[in-house]
Amino acid sequence: MKKYITLCNILNAIAEAIELEPSLAKKATFENEPFQEKVALFWSKNEHQIEWARRRGIAARWLNEVLQHIEMPLQWLEYSEPDRFYIKNESIKIEAINLLRDITNWGNIFEESFCEYIRNASTGYKSDLLDDDISSKICIKQPDVLRQIKVGFYKDELLSILNKSKIPYNLDSNDEGDEPTNEPEPAVPVSVELGDRSKKPLLKTPAKKDDWFDAINDMTTAYYAEYEAIPNEGQAWAQLSQNPPHGYNIKSVSSDKPKGENSLSMPGISALTRRGFGRRWERYVPDSD
């Protein structure tokens, strides 16, 4: 039986196999010792996300170059929401190629944003400006991760192409799915593509769910696919505000009151305030295992 693999998972597999030298910015030294110690702490808190963005950007560039110049057969698959399984769709190739280009650019921009943050703080050695949890505040809009999950390939076809091109990758059994089919029984939900953690829901489904839960759930799914972790409350709010999932038409709304609270709007449902989001998030996040 043929297996499939998503664009998201093959990018992660290639990124896992890439070995990088530490960022040059990490090697920077400063005459002010307290500031140097603060920079070291800053890097220890954020290095994983920065390095992952670098590796994923490189993986996207390599894969993009290969897919645009292949001579071997390759069938493109797309996840069908109504049918709940993957189907053949050659028309998504252009979209996927553009998505890979955007991921390449995102990897570069993500690292540069942190470097610029350090440079700005180093003027006058303002240690108080180096927030260890800046990753929850610097929310660089990343390419649509849900689309990365919904674009797929036959695994054997794609790996043959990567092997011929000598592109390294690390894969395990969690990175594949069953053969796409038109029969309802073998239908495979997209959540199985997120690895071990997705064998149970990322969030607890409330008894009465609404569009805000669906949007928050999609945002969490996309974040987990990218970082293999559930965001904390601050990261989740930043992601939903600045990089909301497609299809919900979520917009930020600024309060016109001096001490008013900003909120998010969505057509057909009441606005969601920051405090309201916090209450929801507390109910949605599963208890620690």
Going residue by residue through the chain (289 aa), what tens digit of pLDDT does each one get?
Answer: 578 898 988 998 999 999 887 766 667 788 888 888 888 877 777 777 778 888 999 999 999 999 888 878 888 888 877 766 788 888 888 889 999 998 888 878 877 777 787 787 788 877 777 766 665 555 556 677 778 888 989 999 999 999 999 999 988 654 445 444 433 333 333 333 333 333 457 898 888 888 899 899 988 988 887 777 888 888 888 888 888 887 788 888 876 555 556 789 988 889 999 889 999 999 999 876 5
The reported pLDDT for the residue numbered 195 is: 39
DSSP conformation letters of the chain? ---EEEHHHHHHHHHHH---PPPGGGG---S-HHHHHHHHHHHHHHHHHHHHHHHHHHHHHHHHHHHTS--S---EEEEETTTTEEEE-GGGHHHHHHHHHHHHHHHHHHHHHHHHHHHHHHTTT-GGG--TTGGGT-------HHHHHHEEEEHHHHHHHHHHTT------GGG-BPPP-SSSTT---GGGGG-GGGGS-SSPPPSS--HHHHHHHHHHHHHHHHHSS---HHHHHHHHHHSPPTTS--EEE--SSTTPPPEEEETTEEEEEHHHHHHHHHHHSPPP-
Inter-residue contact 168 to 66 (CB < 8 Å): no
The reported pLDDT for the residue numbered 20 is: 80
The reported pLDDT for the residue numbered 163 is: 93
Distance CA 19, CA 54 (A): 11
The reported pLDDT for the residue numbered 25 is: 63
- Single-letter residue type at 241: S
Distance CA 266, CA 273 (A): 12
Report the chain's C-alpha Rg in angstroms: 21
Distance CA 170, CA 12 (A): 8
The reported pLDDT for the residue numbered 180 is: 46
Instruction: Provide the angle, in degrees to the nearest 10, between the axes of the packed helices 211-227 and 233-242.
Output: 110
The reported pLDDT for the residue numbered 142 is: 64
